[in-house]
Amino acid sequence: MEQRMLFRKYRIFDLQQSIEQQAKEAVRALSEEKLADEDQRLIAEIVDRFAPVAPSIDASLAYQTDRQVQVDARRLPNRMVLNRSRPVPVPGTEITIHIPFKGDPGMFDICPSCHTTSWPFAAIDAENSEILLIYQITEGDFPVKARYEEALRDIVQYLNWLKADIQRFESLKQIVQSELTRRRQAASVHSKLVASTGIPRRPDRHAS
């Protein structure tokens, strides 16, 4: 599984706009029967459906796997390779540290409003809900533990920034409330216009 930069693909502001639009469309799609429910219940249902939640991780559940691999010497800082036009395989060890997480794996692509100029680098195993930190080494003095702890700190920091941004999504409740008000006003105007003709509506042909 390929590693990549995390928390960089989409901006938190783009996510917020997308969620607000989805919430509005959900209100517009409500049936007349559902629209009759009380506001607080409808607002809670729609907000719970669309409000994002930052993933949570528990580093105490982390574990590692390993395997023997061929490492391309061109990528090793301590190896001098004269011909760099083709891979130069040398025996090595690949250690993968698995960090379980709970939540939406798509959130690892969201850039929080606060961020650094360096980005956490890892693979996301969405199927097994794990963050994978992969290290290929050829010598015993490579500081895997120190690199892992540094990467973990960076990931936790970004998740905390995301959580802080998501807490500002309180405006979603007001947006849903406003859309409910507009929807009910439109429904009321529609009913009055239909009734103004004084002509009965066509009976339901499927009614028994």
Which range marks the domain in which residue 105 is found?
4-182
Residue 164, CA distances (Å) to 13, 57, 148, 160 in order: 13, 16, 24, 6
| Cβ neighbour number for residue 109 with a 10 Å cutoff | 16
Average pLDDT for the chain: 87
188 found inside a domain: no
Asked whether residue 159 is assigned to any structural domain, the reply reads yes
* Residue 200 belongs to some domain of the structure: no
Mean pLDDT of 16-34: 90
* DSSP-assigned letter for residue 4: E
Query: CA angle at residue 45 from 43 to 46, to 5 degrees?
Result: 65
Number of residues that make up the chain: 208
Q: For residue 95, is it within any domain?
A: yes
Per-residue pLDDT at 208: 54
Measured between alpha carbons, how far is 152 from 131 in angstroms, rounded to an integer? Answer: 10
pLDDT, tens digit, 9 for 90 and up, residues 57-103? 999 999 999 999 887 766 665 666 666 677 777 788 899 999 999 99
What is the spatial distance between Cα 8 and Cα 167, in angstroms, rounded to a whole number?
20
Rg (CA), the chain: 27
Percent of the chain scoring above 90 in pLDDT: 49
Q: Of 2, 12, 23, give the one whose Cα is nearest residue 111.
A: 12
**Percent helix, percent strand, percent coil in the chain, to nearest 5:** 45, 20, 30
| pLDDT greater than 60 at residue 207 | no
First and final CA of the chain: distance in angstroms? 59
Residue 205 located in a structural domain = no
Give this prediction's pTM.
0.78
Domain count, the chain: 1
Task: Give the per-residue pLDDT at 80.
Answer: 63
Answer whether residue 202 is part of any domain. no
DSSP 36: T
| 114 is a domain residue | yes
Tell me whether residue 12 is in a domain: yes
pLDDT digit string, tens, across residues 113-161: 999 988 999 999 999 999 999 998 887 668 899 999 999 999 999 999 9
Closest among 122, 63, 62, 71 to 93, alpha carbons compared: 71
